[in-house]
Amino acid sequence: MKTLVIAEKPDMGRTIAAVIEPRAKNNRSYLEGENYIITWAIGHLLGLAEPDAYDEKYKRWNFGDLPILPDRFKIVPNPRTKDQLKTIGEVAKRCNCIVNACDAGREGQYIFALIQQQLKLTQPVKRLWISDLTAESIQKGFDSLHEEAEFENLTQAARARSEADWLIGMNASRAFTTKHRTLLSVGRVQTPVLALIYDRQKEIESFDSLTYYEIKAELEQLGRKYTGTWQGDRLTDAEKAAAIADKVRGKAGRISEYEVKDTKEYPFKLYDLTLLQRDANAKYGYSAKKTLDLAQALYERHKVISYPRTNSNYVTEQNIDGMHKALHMLKSGPYQQLVEGANPRLVHVGNKSVCNPARVEDHHAILPTLRRAGTLSKEEQNVYDLVIRRFLSHFYPPAEYKQHTVLTEVAGETFKTNVKELLSLGWKVCQPEDPRAGSRGKKKDEEEEQEELVSEPFHVEKDKPVQCLDAQAKEKATQPPKAYTEGTLLKAMESAGKQLENEELRDAMKDAGLGTPATRAATIERLKNVGYITMQGKRITVTQKGRTAIELIRHAGIELLTSPEMTGQWERRLYQISKGEAAREKFMENVKRFTLSIIDKVRVQPKADASLFEIKEEERKGGRGKGPKAKSSAQRKASGSEQSGGNELKRPDTAEKKRVSGSAPGSLQPLAPCPREGCGGQLIEGRKGYGCTHYKQGCGFVIWKEYAGKNISVNMLTSLAGKGQTQLLTFKQPEGDFKARIVLADSMSGKLDLQRAEE
């Protein structure tokens, strides 16, 4: 009898076989050698059954049949991979021992447990627990296999997560869908993520821009010129700002304060998956899913990086030697110059910014393996390059600067200068972009103190006089919060729990957030596919359907479904289950109670008007999952499960009502009072413009959405309706750019005009 090894993916199985059975015969769906048969899952071969597996009546979606609460959950094979499941069952009959070689984590444990349950495998099981697929790691792993029983609690936590997601997703999605006659997908992770995007968009739309004035002075001392920014309360009066500039221009001044201090910037943390996805999105515009797929290919197919689905930015003592070997491996190749400048002594077990075993759970940070990169696609090379440069940066010292802070007083007015003088690049030589750039992550808005980065020495004499050569007051405007990109949304998902007031819940989410590194990309894709969000370039915007979904859930009194708090509660309890400190049964009882409360609250909710789900024209143009061709995909992906390979929600027989064309108004929400004297109506958004609700009474006021090449946003509309003008805008023309305000020229009709700024 032989030992059966079950890996999670085909490439992983073949890599393992090359180490433990190098002469194994290839039988397409498994490899067989003298001692081992190596086969594999293809991700999730099994999943939780659809509701109609419990009762035929659930094929039709009826509110009266809710809630659906199975006493025992059934599992069913994935029809696309059922042949592979059959293969595992057949080869298992010839083996007296099994090695679980699925990914070392909660989901890998669950994938194996479902296979074992479905095929009724009774052989003793050992567990291979490794973080990369190098020959050395595989051999070490097989030399020290774990008992499968050690991971039983982790399996129980995985089952609880999957079944609880099914209960919430299936019941809440059916409840809201049948109540409002529109396919509405609800889930423990996807719904609070949608709420994050919705809340940010509402902030942007309600933002009231404030015009203010900044005064800059050009100063000179002993032939050295430098720039100072006026210090004082924010100026909103143009005349007052101009008066201060006139007051100091050409006058003598003095340095009232001058401080110099040495500063250091240390390398950014090693990559976990989310950090890698954020950087790849910022630099290359890759979606979270695309980066995950590329990283997975680098791990599985090319075997040049360690396991990428990690949430750790650190390594253990056992990884330090491998890091030094990887550094040596990179010596010959495109990174030779960087390797030659590296200092191996900087990476050691005492360096807590690299080696911190307490911060490593299932997997360490993403590292290069000892295999040289062969032929990679351009996109694979881009992701590999990010990993290598981040890795190499830790073999370099910190970047060093002198921070100069100067306060210059001219005619009783104070101007501040911040100069950052570069002394040594240190690890920043590893950055492919301009290595002199400041550390990423700083806020770039009008509130940030401006800082000049220089590479030549900077110095002023505190006791010598200064001359103000010039001073100018410049008009500026406060900026609204930025719309999410996939990169910034990933960061928000990762840190979602930090805003929770409950310290215990906040602590439970500190390393989890919304979703896991491996599932966040799938969550974003699901929101696109069900028509809740659309992409405008790199920006994520909520569709009308997405807005309505969040508002309906909140108005039903189920705020918990849109908040990270529920995920915090779940993650805390699942962690306790995985450690044997809490019972799975008790957790599931609480989930069932919450499911019942959702049904009760939706039951008494008024039915939403069909117009609240209409597709706007820009949404139809903008992305996936909106057009009629994408509808069946959207229905399939309105999934109750929050993990890849989960159960898909079938289309109800009470089908989603045919959507009306985008010519109808996208929203009936009042945006501003109608400026027409004596009208008393409200402006609402239509397909091509903003019109008055009193149009049936004869009010013809309308502001069209496009004017002079500019799109009139809701924010600009409220300024036009309330103040009669927008803030100062830049207009581009072949003969040259110019600045102007859009003004409301006729309050009876809504006619607009341009008012150029005085040069």
Which residues are the active-site residues?
307
- Two structure tokens written together for 57: 């009546």
Q: Compute and round to an integer the Cα radius of gyration of the chain.
A: 31
CB-based burial label for 75 (10 Å; 0-12, 13-18, 19+): middle
Amino acid at 682: Q
Cα dihedral 602/605/606/608 (nearest 10): -50
Residue with tokens 């090894």: 5
Q: Show Cβ contacts of residue 258 under 8 Å, excluding neighbours closer than 6 positions.
A: 404, 405, 406, 407, 460, 462
Cα(132)–Cα(117) distance, integer angstroms: 27
Residues 6+ positions from 80 with CB-CB distance below 8 Å: none
Cα–Cα distance measured from residue 76 to residue 82, given in angstroms and rounded to the nearest whole number: 10
How is 197-225 classified by DSSP, letter by letter? Answer: HHHHHHHHHH----EEEEEEEEEEETTEE
Is residue 633 within 8 A of residue 529, CB to CB? The reply is yes
Q: Is 548 helix (H, G, I), strand (E, B) or coil?
A: helix
Write out the two tokens for 751: 């006619």
> Measured between alpha carbons, how far is 421 from 262 in angstroms, rounded to an integer?
9
CA 657, CA 608: separation in Å to the nearest integer?
A: 13
Within the chain, what is the greatest distance between any pair of CA atoms?
Answer: 95
685 neighbors 715 (Cβ within 8 angstroms): no
Instruction: Give the helix/strand (H/E) hosting 421.
Output: strand 413-424
| C-alpha–C-alpha distance, residues 494 and 514, integer Å | 6
CB atoms within 10 A of CB 535: 16
- Measure the CA dihedral 309/314/320/322, to 10°: 10
C-alpha span between 463 and 466 (Å, rounded) = 9
CB hemisphere CA count around 464 (13 angstroms): 10
